[in-house]
Structure 1
Amino acid sequence: MERLKSLGKHVQVVRELPDDILQQFDNNISNIVNLRVKAWSSPAHYLKKVLPQLLEMRAVRIAPFSNRLAQSVPSKIQGLRCFANFGALRFSEPIRTLAESMVDRMVKHSSQSGGKYVSVHLRFEEDMVAFSCCEYDGGAEEKREMDIARERSWRGKFKRKHRIIKPGANRVDGRCPLTPLEVGMMLRGMGFDNTTLVYVAAGKIYKEQKYMAPLKQMFPRLQTKDTLATPEELAQFKGHSSRLAALDYTVCLHSEVFVTTQGGNFPHFLMGHRRYMYGGHSKTIKPDKRRLALLFDNPNIRWEVFKQQMKDMLRHSDQKGTGVKKASESLYTFPMPDCMCKQVEPKNENANIGKTMKL
């Protein structure tokens, strides 16, 4: 309730519609008119098209709801966006309770390093591997499995006329998901040794026993939600991928270093949230996968040369940790400068958010 009240200075938020308004619609919210708003609409569109109907009918629904407001809007609106997304909104109590316990356990496991740990968002689930149209080392069996997976999830999309799948070109272009082995080699090359506590955020890994083995060997203290929480604790979330992802999100949010291996909403929001939490700078490793492909595919490269390349990549990632939003970029990934003031000390999730907002 506190989080809802925190928005009170800017917009009134209610848990349910007042009775007199609900009665207008026969006490059935599905009877409320559904306004279809184009994606990335300007504030002027809402004032011109939505507000008159809202004033007339006293209640409207907007669906679909994602990406309904333009990226480029006045700074005051941008600030409110960040405040709502990173300050007022939070996960439900069951998710939050378990997620906080998991973070505490990671901190205890990493007591020798001051409670610091590395989190990795690993995208090597079967559907991700299939959609990428990349080849790994599974030969004919892998190709058959990927063909079946693509047809099951994207019926006919990859069999259309003139659709040519070029795995080699995809890899050179940096479009292939990194394997657990490649992630491990990258991190070891960057200087993370086998005592580093690593948390892997992921769904069900493709051929997990085979592909995760080398990563676990390189980082024997590796943890996942399945090792960090008990089966009884996870039982209520089984079958709900978004809720399980919320657990991963929270553990990654509080890590010393976050490693993203593929695009998507999860890393994009997380990078922005971490920048927002830590005063504009977050230790995020976003590898150059084109460069990695060339290095991994070079059979003659020496380990010392590879390590130097990884050190350079780490240095570049650290420099990019403080990111200022460009016109075409998402506010939720780059909250500076619209959502933040310059700070001397890093701010944490429990800080007074209002003091760091340009509202």
Structure 2
Amino acid sequence: MKDGRRRFIQEETGIIMYGRLLSLASSSSLTKNNTADGQFLLLEESAGQVPEWIPCADKTNIANQEQGKKHNGYILISANGGLNQQRVAVCNAVAAASLLNATLVLPKFLYSSVWKDTSQFGEIYQEEYFLEYLKNDVDIVKELPSHLQAVDVEAIGSQITDMEIMKEATPSYYIDVILPILQRNGIVHFLGFGNRLGFDPLPPYLQRLRCKCNFHALKFVPKIKKLGSLLVQRIRKYESKLTEIDKQLFGKYMPTYEPAIRNRSLIRPVKYLALHMRFEVDMVAYSLCNFGGGQRERRELQMYREEHFPTLIARTQNISISSEELRISGKCPLTPEEAALMLSSLGYKSETYIYLAGSHIYGGLSRLQPFMQLFPNVVTKEDLLSPEELRPFKNFSSQLAALDFIACASSDVFAMTDSGSQLSSLVTGYRIYHGQGQAPTLRPNKKRFARILTDHAAIDWGEFQRRVRNMIEENQRVTPRGRGRSVYRLPRTPGCMCKGS
């Protein structure tokens, strides 16, 4: 990172938790670099299995069209959360509207005191493309008809909040509970709609529809595509082979390269790794874990919980569980030190070029310093894009998050520290769906990794490497989506991806 661009990280005191292992990793990292061309390929999915799964969610839902359709009314949705939570809510709403034979009004995005972004659907995604792409699958309009625009949906009992609809609700719930309200009042407003449609049991046509929405219908607006393309161009530094993922993300705004750069001798690694390091203050505080910062850290995190997570405080005030128990059960987010150890144990050397998604690491520069000592070639969007280029995105966190989504999805290897985050989940699924088996993702098992790290005082580096590699490689196996698992993260499932001949 450039020193002038480090203001985004708070200056706080951090504690190095695994000094001995980091020292061993540093010694290993200084050996001859073999990663420029080959190491990224070692952890790809099994090439022999991948062709069996082919993207097919773009097909029209003929089964749904054949049903006798009676128009039951209009569905409004006000999606909460950030970019990725809202994306999931939109696709779930498309499926719910189809299920209920209703017309979906173009989704609205709620303002969040956490995300502080006023962006609406049309400022992030292409409205006309969205409407046109899904027109044969579900009715979608930009606004309510005039006779419904003045209706007080809450007063007539047609406003449904996340508190009133069960998490991952089944289709039968919508038919039994929501449909009567819709038929009676002609309108239903889902306020929030976070994760309120289950993955199983679900008819194949609905599974296909929300995959079609996520992987095909939602295209970023030109403003985001253009800057995302410029960002990827600057990460790669010179011309490289464009992938199917690039085509899906950029369309006509493909990364281009100046002749001076194209003819320059290659001084950087050919490939880059994108890392989503989930160690922001909100996640750290919510975990209830300690991270070696002593009383100051505990006071700071407790104050943050009291301000932002009062329900968590109330729920856990009579529960006694130690930070060590939380860590060994995989409940604690990986620290930057742990992320560095994971990558180093997989063979990535100090020359590895890393794009860091997100910027606000809890604990500041001192917490990130052990990672930077092992991997100094770290860049962020703030390093590669000028203040002038970023100015139109200032105060629009969801639009900035879209740039991280693009850089992570386009990377040669994507690594995460927490598989439960929405960005990591959606990027993983996008790379599986459009990546043609050539877009590997490194995903740790936090519980298993914590058990490996409990031996850090005695374990030798070779044994540590072996155990971490086994953990990661087991997650590289090509398997169908398990029951109840997210189709957005694991699209190898009937209706979303199809088995080829």
Q: Do both proteins adopt the same fold according to a TM-score greater than 0.5, normalized to the shorter chain?
A: yes
- Decide whether aligned partners of structure 1 residues 207 and 77 sit closer, same or farther in structure 2, where only a CA change above 3 A counts: same
Deviations 1:315-344 (A, max 9, x none): 22322xx34112221221221122012359
Note the 1:214-225 alignment, pairs <5 A: 214-225=370-381
**Residue 16 (1) aligns with residue 143 (2):** yes
Select 1:284's aligned residue among 441, 446, 464: 441
State the shift of 1:63 in Å: 3.0
SS of structure 1 residue aligned to 2:274: strand
**Aligned equivalents of 2:155 and 2:311: distance in 1?**
37
Residue 232 of structure 2 aligns with an amino acid whose one-letter code is: V
SS of structure 1 residue aligned to 2:138: coil
Which residue number in structure 2 is paired with residue 138 of structure 1? 293
**Aligned equivalents of 2:237 and 2:356: distance in 1?**
17
Note the 1:128-277 alignment, pairs <5 A: 128-155=283-310, 157-158=312-313, 161-262=317-418, 263-277=420-434
Q: How many residues align?
A: 339
**Aligned equivalents of 1:332 and 1:54: distance in 2?**
28
**Aligned equivalents of 2:341 and 2:278: distance in 1?**
16
Q: 1:130, 1:146 within 8 Å by CA — same for their partners in 2?
A: yes
Q: 1:108, 1:115 within 8 Å by CA — same for their partners in 2?
A: no
- Decide whether aligned partners of structure 1 residues 32 and 104 sit closer, same or farther in structure 2, where only a CA change above 3 A counts: farther
- Decide whether aligned partners of structure 1 residues 69 and 309 sit closer, same or farther in structure 2, where only a CA change above 3 A counts: closer
Q: 1:253, 1:274 within 8 Å by CA — same for their partners in 2?
A: yes
Q: Which of 171-180 and 98-107 deviates more? A: 98-107
**Aligned equivalents of 2:140 and 2:378: distance in 1?**
42
- Decide whether aligned partners of structure 1 residues 317 and 122 sit closer, same or farther in structure 2, where only a CA change above 3 A counts: same
Deviations 1:101-131 (A, max 9, x none): 2122222269658853211111111222222
State the shift of 1:191 in Å: 0.8
Select 2:192's aligned residue among 59, 64, 86: 64
Which residue number in structure 2 is paired with residue 337 of structure 1? 493
State the shift of 1:54 in Å: 5.1
Q: Report which of the two has the higher share of helix.
A: 1
Select 2:229's aligned residue among 74, 82, 100: 100
SS of structure 2 residue aligned to 1:63: strand
Residue 270 of structure 1 aligns with an amino acid whose one-letter code is: V
Q: 1:32, 1:60 within 8 Å by CA — same for their partners in 2?
A: no
**Aligned equivalents of 2:415 and 2:156: distance in 1?**
44
The structure, 1 or 2, with the larger RCO (C-alpha pairs under 8 Å, 6+ apart) is: 2
Which residue number in structure 1 is paired with residue 25 of structure 2? none
**Aligned equivalents of 1:193 and 1:117: distance in 2?**
12
State the shift of 1:74 in Å: 0.9
Q: What do you get for the CA RMSD once the two structures are aligned?
A: 3.0
Residue 226 of structure 2 aligns with an amino acid whose one-letter code is: T
Q: 1:106, 1:115 within 8 Å by CA — same for their partners in 2?
A: no
In structure 1, stretches of 5+ residues that fail to align are: 345-359
SS of structure 2 residue aligned to 1:318: coil
State the shift of 1:156 in Å: 7.0
- Decide whether aligned partners of structure 1 residues 128 and 110 sit closer, same or farther in structure 2, where only a CA change above 3 A counts: farther
**Residue 124 (1) aligns with residue 282 (2):** no
**Aligned equivalents of 2:282 and 2:189: distance in 1?**
33
**Aligned equivalents of 1:52 and 1:228: distance in 2?**
53
- Decide whether aligned partners of structure 1 residues 242 and 164 sit closer, same or farther in structure 2, where only a CA change above 3 A counts: farther
Deviations 1:217-265 (A, max 9, x none): 2222211121122222223333333332222112111112211212222
**Residue 5 (1) aligns with residue 163 (2):** no
**Residue 310 (1) aligns with residue 468 (2):** yes
State the shift of 1:30 in Å: 9.1
**Aligned equivalents of 1:206 and 1:195: distance in 2?**
25
State the shift of 1:165 in Å: 4.0
Residue 132 of structure 2 aligns with an amino acid whose one-letter code is: K
Q: 1:117, 1:196 within 8 Å by CA — same for their partners in 2?
A: yes
**Aligned equivalents of 1:149 and 1:28: distance in 2?**
36
Residue 259 of structure 1 aligns with an amino acid whose one-letter code is: A
State the shift of 1:270 in Å: 2.0
Residue 137 of structure 2 aligns with an amino acid whose one-letter code is: H
**Aligned equivalents of 2:328 and 2:150: distance in 1?**
59
Q: 2:487, 2:493 within 8 Å by CA — same for their partners in 1?
A: no
**Aligned equivalents of 1:144 and 1:47: distance in 2?**
48
TM-score between the two structures when normalised by the length of structure 1? 0.83
| Percent of matched pairs sharing the same residue | 34
State the shift of 1:313 in Å: 2.5
- Decide whether aligned partners of structure 1 residues 14 and 142 sit closer, same or farther in structure 2, where only a CA change above 3 A counts: same
State the shift of 1:168 in Å: 1.0
- Decide whether aligned partners of structure 1 residues 305 and 272 sit closer, same or farther in structure 2, where only a CA change above 3 A counts: same
Q: 2:158, 2:181 within 8 Å by CA — same for their partners in 1?
A: no
- Decide whether aligned partners of structure 1 residues 308 and 28 sit closer, same or farther in structure 2, where only a CA change above 3 A counts: same
**Aligned equivalents of 1:32 and 1:104: distance in 2?**
52
- Decide whether aligned partners of structure 1 residues 210 and 343 sit closer, same or farther in structure 2, where only a CA change above 3 A counts: farther
